[in-house]
């Protein structure tokens, strides 16, 4: 049996979201039908607002409603350190820790030859431009510990080091509360490489 066209289109729309298959999309579509009309309208407005009202910060590439994001606009931040992340959601995660007080730079992706993503597709040129300012002393690369994340980190390191700026990488390895016997070889290798003195 085919669904009526509005339901079929809604299911198709939900399936465009990451991690949403046909079953989940169908369940969400029927849940949406049962929602109050004002809740659905508010949901639709939120989706439209995200596309219309947000853009990238002119300095770091983070998402913002203003010309500059809240971090770049904050004069109390340590301007000698820039932490480079893949996506804006990574900035939000780091800010939750409340221990990092420097600036950020959002690449909006990683180098991925398999997906056809090269240096020109990322927010790298503006990072290099920011480094011409003598106040930056360290760049912390916080890309994910994936093949593409590691390749991006190595590429950035080779670009930045000739400028005499310290380049560091976030430590990777065993997560708190995990058992060594269940860790894979790469995680164990990163844990050993990232060891620190007690």
Res. 40 pLDDT band, cuts 50 70 90? very high
- What pLDDT is stored for residue 171 in this prediction? 79
DSSP secondary structure of 155-174: HHHHHHGGGT-EEEE---SP
CATH class of the domain whose range is 5-53: mainly alpha
- What pLDDT is stored for residue 177 in this prediction? 73
pTM, two decimal places: 0.82
Stated as kind and residue range, the H or E segment containing 105 is strand 102-106
Name beta bridge partners: 195: none
Across the range 114-134, mean pLDDT stands at 92
Res. 176 pLDDT band, cuts 50 70 90? confident
- What pLDDT is stored for residue 98 in this prediction? 86
Domain ranges of the chain: 5-53, 74-169
Stated as kind and residue range, the H or E segment containing 138 is strand 138-141
Res. 1 pLDDT band, cuts 50 70 90? low
Q: Over 90: is that where the pLDDT of 119 sits?
A: yes
Query: Mind listing the pLDDT tens digit for each residue in 162-175?
Result: 989 999 998 777 67
Rounded Cα distance between 77 and 101, Å, is 5
CATH class of the domain whose range is 74-169: alpha beta
Q: Please indicate whether residue 156 or residue 146 has the higher confidence score (pLDDT).
A: 156
**Residues 148-169 as b or e (16 or more Cβ within 10 Å = b):** bbbebbebbeebbeeeeeebeb
Pairing outcome for strands 55-56 and 63-64? antiparallel
- What pLDDT is stored for residue 8 in this prediction? 95
């Amino acid at each position: 049996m085919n669904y009526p066209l509005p339901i079929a289109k809604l299911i198709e729309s939900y399936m465009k979201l990451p991690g949403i298959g046909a079953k989940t999309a169908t369940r969400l579509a029927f849940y949406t039908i049962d929602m109050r009309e004002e809740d659905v309208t508010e949901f639709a407005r939120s989706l439209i607002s995200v596309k219309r009202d947000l853009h990238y910060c002119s300095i770091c590439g983070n998402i913002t409603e203003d010309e500059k994001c809240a971090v770049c606009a904050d004069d109390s931040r340590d301007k000698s350190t820039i932490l480079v992340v893949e996506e804006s959601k990574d900035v939000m995660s780091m800010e939750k820790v409340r221990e990092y007080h420097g600036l950020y730079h959002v690449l909006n992706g990683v180098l991925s030859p398999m997906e056809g993503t090269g240096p020109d597709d990322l927010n790298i040129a503006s990072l290099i431009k920011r480094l011409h300012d003598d106040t930056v002393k360290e760049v912390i690369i916080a890309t994910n510990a994936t093949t593409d994340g590691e390749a991006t980190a190595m590429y950035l390191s080779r670009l930045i080091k000739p400028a005499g700026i310290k380049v560091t990488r976030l430590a990777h390895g065993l997560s708190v509360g995990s058992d060594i016997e269940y860790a894979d070889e790469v995680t164990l290798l990163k844990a050993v490489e990232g060891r620190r003195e007690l």
